[in-house]
Amino acid sequence: MRMTTARKTTIALILAAATVVGGGCQNMSPGEKGALTGAALGSGIGLVAGGSFGTVVGAGLIGGAVGFLGGTALGNSNK
């Protein structure tokens, strides 16, 4: 079953909204914020690009790891 572009976009927007709402619930370190944002962006891009489930999960994991490293580096540079 192929997903339409509109459905993929809707899912990506829902994931982004959930990230914004979920990210505001508690105080998080810059690394945690980066990981959350990176995972959502990676998953959303994987969905919009039409990847399979494994590709989308992999993109989310890679995005989360890169986001964590970037957020941690930014947090350390601000000290």
Model pTM score: 0.61
Answer yes or no: are the C-beta atoms of 3 and 50 closer than 8 Å.
yes
Q: Choose among 59, 11, 71: nearest CA to 35.
A: 71
What integer pLDDT is reported at residue 22 of this predicted model?
64
- DSSP 3-state assignment of 72? helix
Answer yes or no: are the C-beta atoms of 63 and 47 closer than 8 Å.
no
24-28, 47-51, 53-57, 59-63: the lowest-pLDDT one: 24-28
